[in-house]
Structure 1
Amino acid sequence: MTCYSSPGVLNTLYTNDCRKKKWQSHFGQGGTAYISTYININKEKERVALHFHNANEDMHPKQGSVFIPNPCSDYCKKCEMKRPPRTHHCSTCNRCVLQMDHHCIWFNNCIGYYNYRSFLLSLIYLSSACWYGVFILFRPFYTIMQEQVKTKGFRMMYENGTGFLDLPMPRDMWNEIQETGTLNVNVVLRIIAPFLFLTAMALTVFLKSHLRYVDNGLTTLERVATITFLKKQKMEEQGIDSSDSPAQKENENKYAGMKIVNPFDQGVRNNFQQVFGSNLWLLLLPWPVEAAKPFQPHKSKFE
């Protein structure tokens, strides 16, 4: 679903414009497999219209605060079109994506508002599968390593020169595969078990980061924008001038004392329902769930 479903593409709204007729879904090919994402033009137009309706042009932050992300529409210079809030241009696919999180080369697709749920489910399934593999392989792997230390002693580098795991050289393994059609079980265990563990660790850290973003009502790009703002604020408060340009000097104290406000943060429960849906039975199942309507911030809450 993550690979073949549309994340929400803004450019489809302008397909009737003579300047935009050249744009097609296959222009978004990128990543590893050069697979075209299926896009239903009529459905995509409805989605884009919902996000435009979500724009609140009259909404302004309180004095001493700044909105990240911005609830107002802006203009994409690359696509030459107006776009709704939280929409970003993907340089890989050359298109604007609704509430874009990032472009994932592993899924060969942008991760946006309408495939973010399936992306998170993929991370959950992959990390769970890797930890399951670590669990069932830990005992035989530990037995092999225990026997190795018992017979050869504990060393960081054994005679094979491949470290603590004491693996055969790649050429030797290749020769063994050609001669016997397989590898020694102990060698396979010493390769697979550590690999699964490292992969499980990386996926778990990645998943934890994304769940934290959902908790705060942010995307990866918006989190990066928040961190960038905080860094500039800290530099300004410490009196560090990052540029000597006149334009930079005119904006002195632009960040100092400013408070970041996320107008799209609805609280933990509502933020997760916005992504995963309200049906608890389908919460973690690989079943297509129609995404909730984009949240529209209340103007009276922030003025």
Structure 2
Amino acid sequence: MMFGCTRRKCIRTVGVLPVVFVVCLVAWSYYAYMFRFYPKLVYPNSLVQSGLYFVLLHFLLVMFVWSYYRVVSTSPGHPIKIVAVPPSSTRLVPRGIELNEGVRRADYPPPLIPISHVADSNMGSGDSLLEEESDRGYTAVSLHREDDEDLRASARPLETKRDGGRRFCTKCNNWKPDRTHHCSVCEKCVLKLDHHCPWVNNCVGFANYKYFYLFVTYTMLYCLFIFFTMMGTILWYGGDDLMKGLYGIDFHTIMLFIVSGIFALCLLVFVAVHAGLISSNKTTIESMEGARRVRLEDNSVRLARHVNIYDLGAKENFLQIFGANWRLWFVPLPTSLGDGHSFPYNRETYRSLLEV
């Protein structure tokens, strides 16, 4: 803490600056296009052309602003608080260490209890049956008993820790559902966290990923529209000579032409990358991690390096985010399927792990 400002408050204050920059940049682009380029180069030549440009520009601008507002103002989604860990007891409890009286064991991430030891001890300190990784890239470990209190607290997750225990966030003092990760900037766990985006001063996760993708898509289309309409008009004035067409045009118009082209190219790559992630049902974090430990039907865990159990096929993966109503696919309204705590998975891929 410095001068009465905590780390979180400082991050929130500084995080507003990129949002202000985006708003100012868009406002300037609108001014440069509508009040510099539009009257001088479009309106005097063709009413049909100027009318079409006017309608398309404002449509893209409205959809962009709407999507941007939704991704900035919408919470990405956070796990439901299932347990309340005492503030003084935030670390995991090692096996063989008894808890103080009055503290429920369910308040802690339970230690691994091998199934072979269940009959011998009630909550004993048996050694983990963690096996060595095989040459095929999978690891098998034993799991908790089916009647553990923590497993009854919520739906049984698919993803586990290295020792086979349930994933637990020691910073949030709460269980982590499947595909949930902790954001060090927001200092919270986020459902299906994709990444923390400074340009929206928010995490991109389960509840606002659709808005984020629409935001970058409409921004790309907005920039492409400005760039190509300006290029067409400038080339027309210069007789296919770009430099001749730029001669005599004011500074705002030239800068808008250059900036829109640069942004359009960068955003085109960004949109394509996220389209690939959507088609394979992966987040940015999952694409970088490359492997997860999955709980299987035989009460074991496999480290799946080369398979994605959440990949349902390109069409179903798309519908998970954009919903079944095609009329709302490109509108920034909530249509994503599920609750963010559990996700449908490919059962064939899931069962194939048992055969490895």
Query: Which TM-score band (shorter chain)?
Result: 0.5 to 0.7
Cα distance, 1:82 vs. partner? 2.3
| Structure 1 Cα separation of the partners of residues 177 and 210 of structure 2 | 21
**RMSD between aligned alpha carbons?**
3.4
Name the counterpart of 1:302.
353
- Structure 2 residue runs of 5 or longer lacking an equivalent are 1-69, 89-132, 140-157, 161-165, 292-302
For residues 158-177 of structure 1, the aligned pairs below 5 Å read: none
Name the counterpart of 1:138.
231
Whether the 8 Å CA contact 2:182–2:188 is kept in 1: the answer is: yes
Name the counterpart of 2:78.
9
| Structure 1 Cα separation of the partners of residues 329 and 190 of structure 2 | 25
SS of the residue aligned with 1:205? helix
SS of the residue aligned with 1:130? helix
Whether the 8 Å CA contact 1:117–1:275 is kept in 2: the answer is: yes
TM-score (norm 1): 0.58
Task: Write the letter of the residue equivalent to 1:64.
Answer: R
Structure 1 pair 276/148, CA: closer, same or farther in 2 (3 Å)? closer
CA displacement, residues 73-132 of structure 1 (integer Å, 9 cap, x when unaligned): 412233333211211110110011011000011111100011111111111111111111
Does residue 270 of structure 2 align to residue 206 of structure 1?
Answer: yes
| Structure 1 Cα separation of the partners of residues 219 and 86 of structure 2 | 44
Whether the 8 Å CA contact 2:190–2:205 is kept in 1: the answer is: yes
CA displacement, residues 171-194 of structure 1 (integer Å, 9 cap, x when unaligned): xxxxxxxxxxxxx74322221111
Does residue 313 of structure 2 align to residue 267 of structure 1?
Answer: yes
| Structure 2 Cα separation of the partners of residues 187 and 75 of structure 1 | 55
Name the counterpart of 1:222.
286
> How many equivalent residue pairs?
202
CA displacement, residues 244-277 of structure 1 (integer Å, 9 cap, x when unaligned): xxxxxxxxxxx9xx85111111111111111111
TM-score (norm 2): 0.50
SS of the residue aligned with 2:182? strand
Whether the 8 Å CA contact 1:62–1:302 is kept in 2: the answer is: no
| Structure 2 Cα separation of the partners of residues 280 and 17 of structure 1 | 44
- Structure 1 residue runs of 5 or longer lacking an equivalent are 21-60, 152-164, 167-183, 228-254
Structure 1 pair 62/282, CA: closer, same or farther in 2 (3 Å)? farther
SS of the residue aligned with 1:99? coil
| Structure 2 Cα separation of the partners of residues 301 and 224 of structure 1 | 23
Does residue 344 of structure 2 align to residue 280 of structure 1?
Answer: no
Whether the 8 Å CA contact 2:227–2:260 is kept in 1: the answer is: yes
Structure 1 pair 273/187, CA: closer, same or farther in 2 (3 Å)? same
Whether the 8 Å CA contact 2:76–2:209 is kept in 1: the answer is: yes
Whether the 8 Å CA contact 1:65–1:261 is kept in 2: the answer is: no
CA displacement, residues 179-219 of structure 1 (integer Å, 9 cap, x when unaligned): xxxxx743222211111011011111101101101111110
Name the counterpart of 1:71.
159
SS of the residue aligned with 1:2? helix
Does residue 253 of structure 2 align to residue 189 of structure 1?
Answer: yes
Name the counterpart of 1:173.
none
Whether the 8 Å CA contact 2:230–2:257 is kept in 1: the answer is: yes
Whether the 8 Å CA contact 2:323–2:337 is kept in 1: the answer is: yes
% same residue: 28
| Structure 2 Cα separation of the partners of residues 116 and 149 of structure 1 | 41
| Structure 2 Cα separation of the partners of residues 106 and 66 of structure 1 | 38
| Structure 2 Cα separation of the partners of residues 272 and 212 of structure 1 | 10
SS of the residue aligned with 2:72? coil
Task: Write the letter of the residue equivalent to 2:286.
Answer: E
Does residue 181 of structure 2 align to residue 101 of structure 1?
Answer: no
SS of the residue aligned with 2:230? helix
Larger Rg: 2
| Structure 2 Cα separation of the partners of residues 62 and 300 of structure 1 | 18
Task: Write the letter of the residue equivalent to 2:87.
Answer: R
Q: Which moved more, 1:134-143 or 1:196-205?
A: 134-143
Cα distance, 1:140 vs. partner? 3.3
Cα distance, 1:146 vs. partner? 6.3
Whether the 8 Å CA contact 1:64–1:259 is kept in 2: the answer is: no
Structure 1 pair 221/148, CA: closer, same or farther in 2 (3 Å)? closer
Cα distance, 1:149 vs. partner? 5.0
Whether the 8 Å CA contact 1:141–1:193 is kept in 2: the answer is: no
| Structure 1 Cα separation of the partners of residues 169 and 190 of structure 2 | 11
Cα distance, 1:285 vs. partner? 1.5
SS of the residue aligned with 2:255? helix
Q: Which moved more, 1:82-91 or 1:281-290?
A: 281-290
| Structure 2 Cα separation of the partners of residues 196 and 14 of structure 1 | 47
| Structure 2 Cα separation of the partners of residues 108 and 15 of structure 1 | 29
